[in-house]
Amino acid sequence: MTMGTEGAGQGGKTALLLLGCPEVPVQMGIALYLAGRLGKDGYGVTVAGNPSVIQLARVSDPDQHYVKKVMNLEKAMADLIEGRVHPDLVVAFAHNDAGIAYAATVRHVFKSRLCLIIFGREAEELATLADFDCEKIVEKAVHNPGLLKKKIDVVFGWAASKS
């Protein structure tokens, strides 16, 4: 599946990262990390967010090593709801009630793989609201993305082998 023919990565797959409000520091670091790793795995990655998120992505990665394509969040949601895009993977970020509401809406209209990253001080409480079908990664990360990254590595098969 693709997000339009221009969106596919070298592996022919596409991923859409839906970012929430950028007030929690770990979000952008994790988003850049995911964009880079998914890109290496052959995904064409699009990062969607509000104007602040898009500015953060562009300033943090000025040469676009990790984030090749950005999109307004409302446009991305409209495209998913209307079935204009069909990514292979959606990763939704949530650190507040609104983030869970966005992910729930994605789940309702999008039937392929949905991964929900729940972070921030209220991560565990928020996770109880996300009672829909998705892969949940939950960590009370605010400033330090280390533990959250470890859990992401396990879910996406990037954890270093101990054997």
Partner 1 sequence: MGCIEELKYEVLLSQVSFRECREYVKEHFREWYEVEPGYRIFDSYIIGLPPIFIGVEGNAVFFPYTKPCHGTFLLRIDSPEEVERLRKMKPKKKR
Residues that bind partner 1 (CB under 8 A): 20-21, 23, 49-50, 73-74, 77-78, 81, 96-102, 104-105, 108-109, 129
Contact 25, 143 (CB under 8 A): yes
| Closer to partner 1 by Cβ: residue 78 or 147 | 78
Q: How far is the CB of 97 from partner 1 (least distance, A)?
A: 4
Nearest CA among 14, 3, 4, 6 for reference residue 42: 14
Q: How far is the CB of 77 from partner 1 (least distance, A)?
A: 6
Using alpha carbons only, what angle is made at residue 118 by residues 122 and 96, rounded to the nearest 5 degrees? 50
Torsion on CA atoms 67, 127, 102, 27, rounded to nearest 10: -20
Q: How far is the CB of 52 from partner 1 (least distance, A)?
A: 8
| Closer to partner 1 by Cβ: residue 109 or 154 | 109
Distance of CA 111 to the CA centre of its chain: 16
| Closer to partner 1 by Cβ: residue 8 or 73 | 73
